[in-house]
Structure 1
Amino acid sequence: MPQVRNPILPGFNPDPSILRVGEDYYIATSTFEWYPGVQIHHSKDLANWELVVRPLTRKSQLDMRGDPDSCGIWAPCLSHDGDKFWLVYTDVKRKDGSFKDAHNYIVNAPKIEGPWSDPVYINSSGFDPSLFHDEDGKKWFVNMMWDHRRRPRLFAGIALQEFDPVEGKLVGKRANIFQGTELDLVEGPHLYKRNGWYYLLTAEGGTAYEHACTFARSRSIWGPYEVHPQKHVVTSKNAPFAALQRSGHGSIVETSDGRPVGQDRRCVLGRETAIQEGYWKDDWFYVKNGPVPSLYTEVPGVRDDKVYWEEKNYKFDNKELHKDFQWLRTPEPDRIFSTENRKLTLIGRESIGSWFEQSLVARRQTHFSYDAETVIDFLPEDERQFAGLVAYYSRYNFFYLAVTAHSDGEREIYVMSSEASWPDGDLAFPVQPIKIPRTGKVKLALAIRGGQTLQFSYAVEGGELQKIGKVFDASMLSDECGGHQAHGSFTGAFVGVACSDLNGTAKRADFDYFTYRPVQDVADRYEI
């Protein structure tokens, strides 16, 4: 059987929930503050995956304005009950400190493309919810519980309660069915049933290097749950040199030939999705050659890696924004961009890094080394209007090559950096502004190599690209530098375009195209 090299979903694709319906496989992943909400990929062979839908597309389903960095959509669960698809998700409004304001919802659809329903609000007692469809037709809502008192833990255990789809609410008793192991931070629960056993797969240890998938079973859905003989079925916590690190939030699917497959996540280029082969022994699930996840895994299909290395040239010649792109938080995209007149027009709103309404359209960084390029047509009036090319992780982590104007109205180009800005959010301006002509288009480019270095370049209309500024530390665009304590930043690096108008006059910037060009070098994990 052919092997696939992990990750199967490169770049920012965390918290995978995998599902098989007939011969079709689907994976739902978290999108946090990026809109539209939830990514769902499809495959026929577990090797080649295509993004098919982001189901949370309208204000009635999701409004994340004001959600802090790394909040928003956490750990969606995708399931199918034989009739329709169900999607459970959390919208987190606060995560730092003692409290978590985390609201849980359910939507459904007759087919994966939709239409997806308006959400049913479920509760706010915790996060990472899932929905289990039992053999008798009952539906069970499972989520971790948060205890701000720490009695005995912040991550207080896994709650179970029946969900009535007709009434659209939880019914009957609620019970804490599993408190986790001494590794702590139990979350991400998924229930399964096989040979009369109920199986509970959870994530423990947080999202850093202690992350692990913990497995337990019970003859009753209410427990008590017996922990797996090896406790953690997937983890790299005791293997610091393993190729895949931070593996711990998982989901299990059984292939059509009966082979179970597990998934794990880790923090490289954001948290990506990998796949592992599993097997059953004595009614326990094991990961093949585990618990340390393997870089190579056997799957039915053969991946076409040419797709991974393709240069992407986005022309903005359709009314719809290309599916590779997302924006931040707002369900009202017409206020921040349009794709009319065969160009991408950004409408200047709040500052770069705003948690409410900023005009930033970007795609994931999916390679350690790549080039990005665009051409901007922008006539700012003063220093409070700026637009350009941005490599972005969060409000505290970005590098921005911007066209702006001095207070006298003369156009100039400069670099803004948020290096070392936590907790104040102060900007650094490491490059003296360079005067450019009052009119004319400007080409903006960046090159990232090995995930370690970033170099900006620019060219005025008709000129050649020339470097601007120093070589920056591109590794700042990572969870570790996301402005939070350990386990506090969860997303990934993006690259795109942005526009701000701090005068409040909605100044517009036009972008002719956007190019993302992967670069094959020794830093990338894929063979050339």
Structure 2
Amino acid sequence: MTVLHNPVVRGFAPDPSMVRVGDRYYVATSSFEWFPTIPIHRSRDLAHWEYAGHVRGAVPGDSLAGVPDSGGIWAPSLSWDGERFWMTYSVVRSVGTPYFDADTYITTASDIGGKWSAPQRVVSHGFDPALFHDEGRLWLLNLQNDHRPGGRRFAGIVATELDRDTLAPAGPTHLLLQHERLVEGPKLVRRGDWYYLLLAEGGTGFEHGVLVARGRTVTGPYEVDDRPLLTSRDDLSVPLQKAGHGELVELPDGEWVLSHLAARPVLTPAGPRCTLGRETAVQPVTWDDADGWPRLRHGGWHPVVEVAVSPRSAAPPGQVAHSEEPLGWPWSSPRGYPDPSWADATTRPGWIRLRGRHGPESRWAHSLLAQRLTEHRAEVEVTVEARPLTFTQAAGLVLWYGADAYLGLDLTWAEPEGEEQRGQQWRDGGGRTALRLVERDEDVTREVAVVEVEFGAPVTMGATVDGADARFWYVRDGERVPVGPVLDFSRLSDDHGSRLRFTGAMAGIHAVDLVGAEFNADFGGFHLECTPPG
């Protein structure tokens, strides 16, 4: 038996879709506006996971320019037909509107970390698609979206049989189920004479859950279980909140597990906030001998942190997820892949050189590299070397959720102390080089502190995160000097603000040049350390 500690993939890793192929387990998660698109992790024992690659080319043109925060790739579904891997997913280009403007794609690969086929668009009823392989037939499941005034945005679950070669519809679309509660994220599994339909229920916040329905045929009719398979919505003291979006996987010995998303909240005066985003967890499942419904092995419907599983294979502890690419995993960048020149070894080996582009609120060309925070206690540090000559040039360290939620400490230009902001005055030798600390909260950006530093000298700066608190600092004469007060890190969460948010907090580096787009900043010694509880 292996004891796993949930979440098994920690930090921003939502909407897990898990399959077993032989003695390997693979899980794909949502990437939203971030690249690399659709990260995939693998494991032999369900407890220790490592990065296995991603679906390169998932977005036509490798660009999500213009897509809003928390748009992009939603809820990929990974499957295996006995010969090759299949991935289906939606690219959502509108968030918070009746029209999701979603395109559903399918791509395949013989090797999980190899080349994926060019994505092919298929019928796109809504987001959260999934594929079901049954006796040589291929079915596409989807959420149906009714965009009309008075319509239900979550108007039921539909299924369309596809031609395996052309991926065109091979028959009519069938309505499988409509429910009084919001249901999405359909997944089908066959066991004996029953088809079990797993549904993400109640939205993806604290009301989330997994509901199960079953029928004798793929197209139904389906009866709904009278209780959830998984949820934590009835008890906010459960360590794993927002539990939902599940998928059943059979182990080699005939046992079953449920992969699902969950979140670990930080308690704040404003309520619980999940700064790490939604993460990937696993729960053992058994089948009720009396009525045939799946149930959590430990009883009830609450997820638990420590569980024992028997996957037959063993994996050494301490595997670390990294890519061999210079700016590969765990680095991520918004709306496109990093420019290869950022890691040009001939320029300055071991350093990253960012060329400034748009500002941090851009949906188009922001030069930003970031890594996921995986624990509530973390520390990040980097040395920045740059020569900003105007307030339109800046480079530094960011704690990032999105364009409307971030904290940043930038090396930039500022007016002489005491002089008001009136734009650049272009006086020779005027102004000063400064560290400028800002916080962005939806439509408001606030300057928190400005500290003068030496022009042209490298500056080592950092941030410490402890639960809901964040403190920025820089190094002067070998000592850490705080910049500004403690800031509210919990605003960098799914649960703060009035807009839909689906990702997670990250720490990274960025550069801005609003005028010339040619200002360069060098970053060395980037180090992010996340400390697990206990």
State if a TM-score over 0.5 links the two structures.
Answer: yes
| 1:291 aligned onto 2:301 | yes
In structure 2, do the counterparts of structure 1 residues 400 and 166 end up closer, same or farther at CA, with 3 Å as the change threshold? same
Give the aligned partner of residue 121 of structure 1.
Answer: 121
User: Which residue of 482, 485, 503 corresponds with 2:515?
Assistant: 503
Give the aligned partner of residue 205 of structure 1.
Answer: 202
Q: What is the letter of the counterpart of residue 209 of structure 2?
A: A
Distance 1:442 1:27 in 2: 40
Instruction: Quote the offset at 1:263 in angstroms.
Output: 2.1
Instruction: Quote the offset at 1:306 in angstroms.
Output: 5.3
Give the aligned partner of residue 321 of structure 1.
Answer: 327
Q: What is the letter of the counterpart of residue 82 of structure 2?
A: G
Give the aligned partner of residue 134 of structure 1.
Answer: 134
- Cα pair 1:387 1:500 within 8 Å, conserved: yes
Distance 2:325 2:305 in 1: 40
In structure 2, do the counterparts of structure 1 residues 366 and 304 end up closer, same or farther at CA, with 3 Å as the change threshold? farther
Q: What is the letter of the counterpart of residue 253 of structure 1?
A: V
Give the aligned partner of residue 379 of structure 2.
Answer: 371
| 1:410 aligned onto 2:410 | no
How do 1:207-226 and structure 2 match up within 5 A? 207-226=204-223
Q: What is the letter of the counterpart of residue 444 of structure 1?
A: M
- Cα pair 2:401 2:506 within 8 Å, conserved: yes
| 1:492 aligned onto 2:504 | yes
Residue 389 of structure 1: SS of its match in structure 2? strand
Instruction: Quote the offset at 1:62 in angstroms.
Output: 4.1
How do 1:452-463 and structure 2 match up within 5 A? 452-459=468-475, 463=478
Give the aligned partner of residue 258 of structure 2.
Answer: 262
Instruction: Quote the offset at 1:410 in angstroms.
Output: 2.8
TM-score (norm 2): 0.90
Give the aligned partner of residue 74 of structure 1.
Answer: 74
- Cα pair 2:393 2:512 within 8 Å, conserved: yes
| 1:429 aligned onto 2:429 | no
Instruction: Quote the offset at 1:304 in angstroms.
Output: 6.7
Percent pairwise identity: 37
The gaps in structure 2 that reach 5 residues or longer are: 265-275, 415-423, 425-429
Distance 1:192 1:237 in 2: 25
How do 1:473-488 and structure 2 match up within 5 A? 473-481=488-496, 483-484=498-499, 488=500
Instruction: Quote the offset at 1:506 in angstroms.
Output: 2.5
How do 1:22-41 and structure 2 match up within 5 A? 22-41=22-41
Instruction: Quote the offset at 1:165 in angstroms.
Output: 2.8
Residue 243 of structure 2: SS of its match in structure 1? coil
Instruction: Quote the offset at 1:186 in angstroms.
Output: 1.0
Distance 2:316 2:405 in 1: 33
What is the CA deviation profile of residues 8-59 of structure 1, one whole-angstrom value per residue up to 9, with x for unaligned ones?
1111110010100010000111111111111111000111000111113476
- Cα pair 2:48 2:318 within 8 Å, conserved: no
Residue 353 of structure 1: SS of its match in structure 2? coil
Deviates more, 1:56-65 or 1:164-173: 56-65
Distance 2:246 2:144 in 1: 18
In structure 2, do the counterparts of structure 1 residues 507 and 260 end up closer, same or farther at CA, with 3 Å as the change threshold? same
Distance 1:38 1:80 in 2: 16
Instruction: Quote the offset at 1:470 in angstroms.
Output: 0.5
- Cα pair 1:105 1:122 within 8 Å, conserved: yes
In structure 2, do the counterparts of structure 1 residues 252 and 427 end up closer, same or farther at CA, with 3 Å as the change threshold? same
User: Which residue of 226, 236, 240 corresponds with 2:236?
Assistant: 240
- Cα pair 1:234 1:291 within 8 Å, conserved: yes
The gaps in structure 1 that reach 5 residues or longer are: none
- Cα pair 2:49 2:319 within 8 Å, conserved: no
Instruction: Quote the offset at 1:409 in angstroms.
Output: 5.3
Deviates more, 1:246-255 or 1:276-285: 276-285
What is the CA deviation profile of residues 154-192 of structure 1, one whole-angstrom value per residue up to 9, with x for unaligned ones?
200011001113113223101211113x3x221100011
What is the CA deviation profile of residues 203-228 of structure 1, one whole-angstrom value per residue up to 9, with x for unaligned ones?
01001111110101111111110112
What is the CA deviation profile of residues 214-259 of structure 1, one whole-angstrom value per residue up to 9, with x for unaligned ones?
10111111111011242x1001121222121111111110111111
Equivalenced residue count is 501
TM-score (norm 1): 0.90
Residue 460 of structure 2: SS of its match in structure 1? strand
Q: What is the letter of the counterpart of residue 300 of structure 1?
A: S
